[in-house]
A and B are shown apart, each in its own frame.
Chain A
């Protein structure tokens, strides 16, 4: 089986190859290969992390920015230890930098009520408009259907729901299916 040259090295050994890149042309090539191997190992999970915390339209740019930071900052910024933890710390810091840029201090001062989220600029709640539409659409459902949606989306099984509410399984399925369609249509209509 063919393996890439760095496939047998640990993350930390690959990181060290990047740190040593200025020594020679060969070292530079090894560093590039090492960076490619680290990317192969961690890019998918890093994308998942960033996708939950950055707007989708910027996801791939932010992802690229993280890897550029890795390349640029490894020589002086990585003091050994767990590379994966360091990679995610770099990512978190980048998200924090960007969140701060987007939210000037004067707009923060407008909030009278302390919000824990403000202390966590890495956790960005986005798509708030979409969530507001869904909330409004849910309120338009019949109370029984809305309660069923809430129960299903809190992980309750049909068995539990039917037993608790004294309804037949078939009716519960039908009700949920219809509520889903109504919610889809409603959200689609208001966002069109």
Chain B
């Protein structure tokens, strides 16, 4: 079990950035809980406005580097203020915070899955709010996912409309159609070479919005790394599902090999395409090993390693291009 608070950077200069990542990431609740365990609860908590003082607006515009070490220390010692600060940042923060959120490694997976679910919802019969739409009372109860599934498996259980197999099938088809449409729309008339014979997937490099062409080179490499990291969002245990997922990742390699990569200079493009060919070959090897009877857990571990290395390579290239 990871204890997030103990990852506090040794170098005090890195403290603002570390805290900022938590404020727009998925683990702030855990961090607050850990810091509370360490510092205890004070009899009188200061208000956020007292701690931020005159820097409140500057923090919303330009981040925590605007705060003195003493004020940062108060936030850590009264961690519930971090939840209040987070709310301020998310509801009123400027583009600085958009950039911090965009660089978060934890968010792309849940965001992508949410996009698929929203597309399915919007394309469901009755989503426009007609009588066919599910009643509010019915949909508001949200037991954990495992409980959902157990409930659905009970004989005679009422299956939620959006979990009905017929709907799931339709919704998946609709989501794929939407993804392909969006992909077409993005590339049509843009001068970008659309990757041939590669169907869009809901994750990784083959998803419709995986290759934004309006980024800087370092941000583009980091975006590719984030997309690759979505591999770890699922851990298929059986051979068929694993083969399919490796295949989807492999499809992503084709997307990269054929894409134009406008944000990159010629040298970076050549580097990326050569790397993609190498990664594609390694993924092909894993699929062959699986189809030859290899143990799924071993193949998955080997593929994990390939993906981990390629993510490191992409991030290193991002750093290199950032340094010029």
Contact = CB atoms under 8 A, between A and B. Distances in A.
A131 B73 contact: no
Interface string A46-59: 11110111011111
Nearest to A62: B142
Given A130-B33, A138-B38, A2 B192 contact: yes
A56 B109 CA distance: 14
Interface stretch (A9-17, A65-73, A106-114): A65-73
A44 B10 contact: no
B150 interface: no
A48 B142 contact: no
B32 A97 contact: no
Contacts of B113: 60
Given A1-B214, A48-B101, A64 B110 contact: no
Q: On chain B, which size bracket covers the interface?
A: 35 or more
A63 B110 contact: yes
Chain B CB within 10 Å — which of A64, A65, A187 has the most? A64
Contact of A128 (B25, B33, B111, B143): B33
Chain A CB within 10 Å — which of B12, B38, B73, B127 has the most? B38
A43 B190 contact: no
30 contacts: A2-B185, A2-B186, A21-B128, A32-B123, A35-B118, A36-B182, A39-B114, A40-B115, A43-B111, A48-B26, A51-B29, A59-B110, A60-B110, A62-B142, A63-B110, A67-B114, A67-B118, A72-B136, A97-B140, A98-B140, A125-B32, A125-B36, A130-B34, A131-B33, A131-B34, A131-B37, A134-B38, A153-B6, A153-B39, A155-B15
Interface of B: 1, 3, 5-6, 8, 10, 12, 15, 23-30, 32-39, 69, 72-73, 76-77, 80, 83, 86-87, 90-91, 97-98, 101-102, 104, 107, 110-111, 113-115, 117-119, 121-123, 127-129, 133, 136, 139-146, 148, 182, 185-190, 192, 209, 213-214, 262
Given A43-B114, A64-B117, A125-B36, 19 more contacts: A2-B186, A4-B186, A40-B209, A44-B111, A47-B26, A47-B107, A52-B28, A57-B144, A59-B110, A63-B110, A65-B140, A71-B121, A131-B37, A155-B15, A157-B69, A180-B3, A180-B6, A184-B6, A187-B1
Which 5 A/B pairs are nearest by Cβ-Cβ distance?
A2-B190, A131-B37, A155-B73, A157-B12, A57-B144
